[in-house]
């Protein structure tokens, strides 16, 4: 496990982390069961939790480094929607129950597994991270897929103008109020056998937070999508220049490259 960012108990609990039971979250910092004559200690000023931020490496082999929250469709139904919201809650519970950390048979390492749900075109998980405005970041990961015709999976990024301590998928109203950008990232079809994938994105001048999103879209089936070794870090100016120079030297380089990229990892 990398010595990168390690979330504190306060951070994990504040986000309503799926793995919250592992952190011992109680939902309250107030003392309980004090003796009747015991004097309460002087109040201590609470500091704002520090949001998780790059660099991050999530291998799923030890304590969680990314806070993963379920997402279904584009938005969570608005509060007070007595018809759509209960259905959304039911699908959300099903997605969480059928997803989680699994052990890779070939290596013994752990990875994150999730699959599509019939009747929902797009499902997955997102992780909120604080970022700097007008800054380039590189996202890399390994992925295994066996998708049917019309099925897609991958990793993308959604940008927002401030870090919101909201431990659920956003409603349309909240998303529209704070979204500042969207990056398709990497979208795959067909089979991928633990291929290494990566992409670079640059935040807008107004961006302060992103949702790093794992997704499964299109034709549903019961085959899981497995993701491992998720890394996000700031892209250095030198690497950006080298990458642009290589793209310019490629014969027949396209301004908009194909979305499905196959880059077999020689290390596997």
Q: Is the pLDDT of residue 18 over 80?
A: no
Provide the terminal-to-terminal Cα distance of the chain, rounded to the nearest Å: 18
- In this prediction, residue 232 has a pLDDT band, given cuts at 50, 70 and 90, of very high
Q: What is the pLDDT of residue 48?
A: 72
Return the percentage of the chain with pLDDT > 90, whole number: 66
Distance from C-alpha of 39 to C-alpha of 84, rounded to nearest angstrom: 49
Q: Tell me how far apart the alpha carbons of residues 222 and 233 are, in angstroms, rounded to a whole number.
A: 33
| Domain-wise residue ranges, the chain | 52-249
Q: What is the Cβ-side half-sphere exposure of residue 234, based on CA atoms within 13 angstroms?
A: 12
Considering the segment(s) 52-249 as one domain, its CATH architecture is: Sandwich (2.60)
Please determine, for residue 31, whether its predicted confidence score (pLDDT) is greater than 80. no
- The rounded mean pLDDT for the chain is 81
């Amino acid at each position: 496990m990398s010595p990168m960012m390690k979330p504190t108990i306060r951070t994990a609990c504040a986000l309503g982390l799926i793995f919250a039971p592992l952190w011992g979250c109680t939902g309250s910092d107030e003392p309980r069961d004090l003796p009747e004559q015991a004097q309460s200690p002087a109040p201590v000023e609470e500091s704002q939790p520090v949001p998780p931020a790059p660099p991050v490496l999530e291998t799923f082999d030890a304590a969680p480094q990314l806070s993963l929250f379920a997402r279904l469709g584009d938005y969570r139904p608005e509060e007070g929607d007595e018809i759509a919201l209960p259905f959304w809650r039911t699908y959300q519970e099903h997605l969480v129950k059928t997803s989680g950390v699994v052990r890779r048979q070939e290596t013994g390492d752990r990875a994150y597994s999730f699959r599509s749900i019939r009747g929902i075109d797009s499902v997955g998980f997102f992780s909120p991270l604080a970022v700097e405005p007008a800054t380039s970041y590189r996202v890399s990961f390994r992925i295994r897929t066996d998708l049917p015709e019309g099925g897609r999976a991958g990793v993308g990024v959604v940008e927002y103008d401030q870090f919101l301590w909201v431990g659920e998928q956003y409603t349309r109203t909240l998303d529209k109020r704070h979204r500042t950008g969207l990056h398709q990232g990497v979208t795959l079809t067909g089979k991928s056998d633990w291929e290494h994938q990566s992409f670079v994105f640059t935040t807008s001048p107004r961006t302060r937070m992103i949702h790093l999103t794992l997704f499964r879209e299109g034709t549903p089936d019961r085959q899981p999508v497995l993701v491992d070794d998720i890394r996000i870090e700031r892209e250095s100016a030198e690497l950006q220049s080298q990458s642009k120079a290589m793209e310019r030297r490629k014969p027949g380089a396209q301004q908009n490259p194909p979305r499905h990229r196959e880059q077999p990892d020689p290390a596997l």
